[in-house]
Amino acid sequence: MQISAVIIVKNAAKTIEATLESLKLFDEVILYDNGSEDNTLKIASGFKNVKTVTGKFIGFGPTKNLAATFARNDWIFSIDADEVASPGLISVLENITLNDDTVYSIERHNYYRKKRVRHSGWGKEIIFRLYNRKYFGFNNKMVHETIDVKGAKKIHIPAEIRHYSFHSISDFLKKMEVYSSLFAESKKGKKKSSVFRAFLSSFTVIINKYFFHLAFLDGYRGVIITFTAAIGNFYKYLKLYEANKNDNIKCSLIINSSGDIRKLQVVLNSVFHQSIFPDEIIIVSNNHDKADDNLIYDIIQRSIIHINHIKINNSLSLSMLQNDILPKVRYEYIIMIDGDSVLHPEFINDHLQCASENKFILGTHVKLSDSYTQQLLNKTDSKFYRVKTRINVFRRIAAISKTACKKTAKNNITENNVSLFKKDLLKLAETVDTTGENAGFAEMLNKTDLKGIRLRLGGIIYRMT
């Protein structure tokens, strides 16, 4: 037989013997092992036609293509380690006349606990498994890989492969863990996700499988297949959501203080009650009152966050930012606010979640009344920072979907509630003429070609008057 069977395998001791037994009439079977720790290799050693190769797993599609390179023949029959080729299929393969421009499909019947599942989306499948590696191969998908049949003629072989992928609920859970992680890894930064999407996706799977795919006709097997598929979808989108989050970005919060020490205290207390802390705080002030300096020094000593106090003689300008402040910024991401800005508890988190290279982020401003400002300045309660305004209600609704609360920013920036990567700011400083420039950090962004994202209901600051 001028066809090589190719299998990629890891810890398949439960199924590999039946698979290899069904392939004993092949002259060559390539077994590409990527780290088995059970008896898989010991079982495979008992078959004379099996050639074992060990290597890394680089995703299902790429790994299958790599495994095929070790075959002696150009014609490849790809079969999984939990599948069994039927005697009828082997008989067809022994006598088939192969055409180089053709890819051949086969039926696959799925089993759970040795009983065939006829519904639940597990009914008869048509899969392409026989191809000439000179002309065709698998796509590069990490999971759910298929042979790329573009430009190929397609012929169906009227015989089946029997698929025994699950023998217990534990098998479902193990596969769910692997596939959900591979999905998140392959889609990270390319596909958006959210807790709401994870919930909606799992709910949709239940409706589709149990009712539209008639899983109820498969009895308890249908229930298991339906709900493990739903849970798998739930976790793969949650893992993608976590993978897309920017929690690992280290950020510096720059507070441009106007000199009002009472307002600065309120602002700092709101910083200390963030859901995610900045990695450092840089206070830039032009107030040289000794009593205020002593108060700031006392705050620095008691702070759980590193604070750097930088004094300047005039208002903060672009040239000062470039020459005096940026060299002292220790971390990769910068968030800039004014010294009269009380932060919403999710302020830092909102900016970090939308952080993107070659873009700057603008948060939302809410102006407080004089009376409310005085209440904040006069309170000593540690929870005073929880400002109550109508925007908080809308923010909770918008938090369901990040895409619903941001839009492209226009170049009309007048106040500091801005964040961007330090390297982007350094590039910007090189392109903007700072000679005689008195504009602040926010105003200079009006002169840049950097794209902006405005958080409609995120990155909220409450401006004291």
Q: Output the CA torsion 244→247→250→253 (10° steps).
A: 110
Last residue of a domain, one of 206, 226, 244: 244
- Are 185 and 275 in a shared domain? no
Nearest CA to 79 among 157, 9, 180?
9
User: Residue 177's domain spans which residues?
Assistant: 169-244
- Are 271 and 174 in a shared domain? no
- 68 by Cβ neighbours in 10 Å (0-12 / 13-18 / 19+) ranks as buried
CATH number of the domain where residue 266 is located? 3.90.550.10
Last residue of a domain, one of 198, 217, 244: 244
- Are 28 and 69 in a shared domain? yes
Given a contact cutoff of 8 angstroms between Cβ atoms, the answer to whether 329 and 278 are in contact is: no
Given a contact cutoff of 8 angstroms between Cβ atoms, the answer to whether 29 and 73 are in contact is: no
Distances (CA, A) of 241 to 194, 397, 416: 6, 18, 29
- Are 126 and 198 in a shared domain? no
The amino acid present at 25, given as its one-letter code, is L
What whole-number distance in Å separates Cα of residue 56 and Cα of residue 62?
11
Q: What is the mean pLDDT of each run of 10 residues along the chain (465 residues)?
A: 95 96 97 97 97 96 98 98 97 95 97 94 95 97 94 96 94 93 89 92 96 96 96 95 83 88 90 93 81 85 92 72 84 93 92 88 90 82 52 49 49 75 82 53 66 85 90
- Are 155 and 216 in a shared domain? no
Q: Output the CA torsion 64→69→75→79 (10° steps).
A: -30
- For helices 261-271 and 290-302, the axis angle rounded to 10 degrees is 10
**pLDDT of res. 381:** 53
**pLDDT of res. 437:** 45
- 422 by Cβ neighbours in 10 Å (0-12 / 13-18 / 19+) ranks as middle
**pLDDT of res. 399:** 47
- Are 319 and 340 in a shared domain? yes
Last residue of a domain, one of 191, 222, 244: 244
- Are 199 and 255 in a shared domain? no
Given a contact cutoff of 8 angstroms between Cβ atoms, the answer to whether 105 and 147 are in contact is: no
**pLDDT of res. 440:** 55
- Are 211 and 304 in a shared domain? no
pTM comes to 0.64
Given a contact cutoff of 8 angstroms between Cβ atoms, the answer to whether 175 and 143 are in contact is: no
Q: How many domains does the chain contain in total?
A: 3
- Are 228 and 296 in a shared domain? no
Which run of H or E residues covers position 157?
A: strand 153-166
- Are 214 and 74 in a shared domain? no
- Are 197 and 270 in a shared domain? no
**pLDDT of res. 237:** 95
**pLDDT of res. 305:** 93
Q: Spell out the SS3 assignment of 168-223.
A: CHHHHHHHHHHHHHHHHHHHCCCCCCCHHHHHHHHHHHHHHHHHHCCHHHHHHHHH
Distances (CA, A) of 53 to 2, 64, 139, 322: 20, 12, 21, 57
- Are 141 and 186 in a shared domain? no
